Chains A and B, each alone.
Chain A
Amino acid sequence: MTTDKRSINRGRIVEVATLIALPVFMFLCAYYEIEQTALVTLLAAIFANIPFFINFEKSRPKPRHILPIVIMSALATVGRILFAPIPHVKPVSSIVIVTGIVFGRQSGYLTGALTALASNMFMGQGPWTPWQMFAWGLIGFLAGVMESVGLFRHRWVVYVYGFASGLLFGLIMDSWHIISFISPLTWTGAIAAYGAGFFFNLAHAIATVVFLVPILKPWTKKLTRIKLKFDLDHSVE
C-alpha cells in the first residue's frame, strides 16, 4: 500500500513539475531565440501531455472511473461542434471546469485533453492540437485543485475562474503562435500579435462564463449525486 502511495505521490510531483516546466521552457526558447522553434514547441507540448496520460494508465482505472470522463468529453465535443459556426464561442471550458470540480483534477485534465483531441478530428488536426490539449487540460486541472483547496465555496469565484480560464487559454495559444512563428521576436511584434488576439480571447472568456452560469449549480448537484450513488470517487484523488 505504501509503495502505491509513493508512486502516486511521485506521479503528482511529475505532473506539477510538467505544468511549471513547459512555460519556463517556452520562455527560454523565446529569450534565447532558439531556431526551429516550431518543431521544438510542438515536441514540448506533446511531451507535456504524456505524464498525465501515463499516470492515468498506471492507476489502472476501473470502467466506472473512465466513463464519466468519456461522457463529459463527448458532451463537450458535441457542444464544440454545435457552436462551431460562432468562432471562439465554445462550451468546452465550462464543461471541463465542472468536471474538474466534481471529479477532481486528474479527470479534469483528461476531459480537457481528450476533448481537444477528439473534437479536432472534426475541426481539423494541426500543430495546435497538443497545445489545445494542454491548455484545456490545465483549465480542468486547476479547477480540480481550487475545488480541493476550498476556493470554490462561493460560486462567484468559479465564474471569475471561468473568465480567467478563457483568457488563460488564449494566452497559451497566442504565446505558442508567437514563439513558434514570429521571428525575429520583438516586443512590438509580440504585443501586436497579443493585441490582435485579445478580443477573440475576450469573447471566449465571456462565452465560458455565459455557459457556466446556467450549468454550474444544476450540473455539480446532479454529478455529485451520481458520484455518490454509484461510488465513482476516484481512488487517486
Chain B
Amino acid sequence: MTLKRYHPVVIFLYFAAVLLVTMLVQHPVIAGISFFFAVLLKWRVVGVVKTLKSLWHLLPMLAIITCINALVNDSGMTVLFTIGRRSFSLEALLYGLVAGLTLLAVILWFSSYSDLMENGRFLAMLGRRLPVISMMVSMIFRYIPDTLQHGREIDMSQRALLGSDDRHRKTKVARAIRLVSILMAWSMENAIETADSMRAKGYQAQCRRPYARVRWTLRDVMSLLLIVLLSVLAVIGVAMGGAAFLFYPEWFIPARALAGGRLYILAGAFVALGGLPFLLDVEQWLRDFASHRRRPSSCKISPFVAAMLPCCGSASQRQQLP
C-alpha cells in the first residue's frame, strides 16, 4: 500500500474527506460506492482473510439494522407484504439498507485508517497542538505491556509465598483482588520515579519534538491537492442537490439531482476519491517500471551485490528500508 508512506496529514485528510462525504449524504449510490471501496481498501491493506472475517462480523449488523427499520417504520408506499394490519414497505427496507451500508462503510474506513496510520505518526501529527495529551497516550501504550509483565511477576511471587492453592473460588477472587491492588501501588511508585527522572532530564524545557520522520515531498503535496479538489467537487455536488433522494412516501430521485448531471459529477468525484489509494499504487508501480527502464544496468548486478548498494533497487524497496 503506497498510501501508507505518504505524509500523515495526507492520510488523515484522505480518510476525513471520504468519511465526510459518506456521512454527509443518505443516498443508495453513494453508500454503495463507499462500501465497495471500503471493502476493497480493507482487502488491499490486510488481505482477503481478515477482510472476510470483519465482514462476517459486520454483515449480521447490516441485516439487523435493515430489519429493525423495516419493522418500526411504516411510511413507505410500495407494500411488500402484510402481517395482520401491519404492512411492510420496500421504502423502509431500502432506507434501512442504506443506513446500514453507510454505517458499515464508516466502520471499515475507520479500521483501514487505523491499519494504515501507525500510532507514532498520528501522535506526531497531534503533538503540535496537544503535546502533553499525545505524550500521555504514547506513555499509556508503553505502560500496557509493562503492567502485564508486572502482573505476572506479582502472581509468581504470591504463589511462591502463599502456595498455589486456588481450589476455592473465594481464595481465587481474593488473590486476584490483592494482585491488582499490589499492581496498582507498584505501578504508582514506579511512576513517581519516572516522573522525577523526566523532570531531571529537562521535561519542562520547551524544546521537545516528536520522533517521527515526516517530511513533505512533492508527491504529498500533489496528492493532497487531488484529495482537496475531489472532495470540494463532491461537496459542491451535494450542496447543489446532487445527493437529493426521497425515500418516503415512494422512493424517487428528484429532477434537481439529475439536472446538469449533478448526481453523476458527485458520484464520479466520489469514485475517484475512493479509488485514489489504488491510483497511487498504480503510479508507484509505473515509477518503479520507469526507473528500471532508465537504469537497466542496476538489474544486471547480481541481487546480492545490489542489496548492499544503497543506490540500487527499486524506489519502493528503497523506501521500505528503515
Q: Which residues of A contact B (CB under 8 A)?
A: 35-36, 38-39, 42, 53-54, 56-57, 60-64, 66-71, 73-75, 77-78, 81, 110, 114-115, 117-118, 121, 124-127, 181-184, 186, 188-189, 192-193, 214-215, 218-219, 222-223, 226, 230
Contact = CB atoms under 8 A, between A and B. Distances in A.
B99 A214 contact: no
A64 B195 contact: yes
Nearest to A118: B140
Contacts of B130: 53-54, 57
B137 A75 contact: no
B143 interface: yes
B136 interface: yes
A11 B85 CA distance: 57
Given A75-B184, A121-B141, 20 more contacts: A36-B24, A38-B102, A62-B204, A66-B195, A69-B136, A70-B139, A70-B140, A71-B188, A73-B140, A74-B139, A74-B144, A74-B187, A118-B141, A121-B119, A181-B99, A181-B103, A186-B72, A189-B72, A215-B181, A230-B192
B99 A183 contact: yes
A222 B195 contact: no
A35 B198 CA distance: 49
A134 to B, nearest CB: 15
B29 interface: no
Contacts of B180: 75, 215
Contact of A78 (B68, B148, B177): B148
B143 A71 contact: yes
B199 interface: yes
B194 A67 contact: yes
Contacts of A219: 181, 184
A63 B195 contact: yes
Contacts of B103: 181
A78 B188 CA distance: 15
Given A114-B140, A126-B106, A39 B184 contact: no
Contacts, number: 144
Contacts of A186: 72-73
Contact of A70 (B26, B95, B114, B136): B136
A126 B195 contact: no
Interface string B133-150: 101110111011011100
Interface residues of B, number: 57
B230 interface: no
Contacts of B265: none
B111 A181 contact: no
A117 B180 CA distance: 22
Given A63-B198, A125-B114, A215 B132 contact: no
Given A127-B110, A184-B73, A222 B191 contact: no
Contacts of B177: 214-215
Contact of A77 (B131, B140, B199): B140
B185 interface: yes
Contact of B132 (A38, A57, A184): A57
A184 B68 CA distance: 13
B166 interface: no
Contacts of A189: 72-73
Given A188-B72, A222-B181, A78 B132 contact: no
A115 B140 CA distance: 8
Given A39-B23, A63-B198, A67-B195, A114 B136 contact: yes
B232 interface: no
Closest 8 CB pairs of A and B: A74-B143, A63-B195, A67-B191, A39-B23, A63-B198, A38-B23, A118-B140, A64-B195
27 contacts: A36-B25, A38-B106, A39-B20, A56-B132, A64-B195, A64-B196, A66-B132, A66-B139, A68-B191, A73-B140, A74-B139, A75-B180, A77-B140, A77-B144, A81-B144, A115-B140, A124-B107, A127-B106, A184-B248, A189-B72, A192-B68, A192-B72, A215-B180, A219-B184, A222-B184, A223-B188, A226-B189
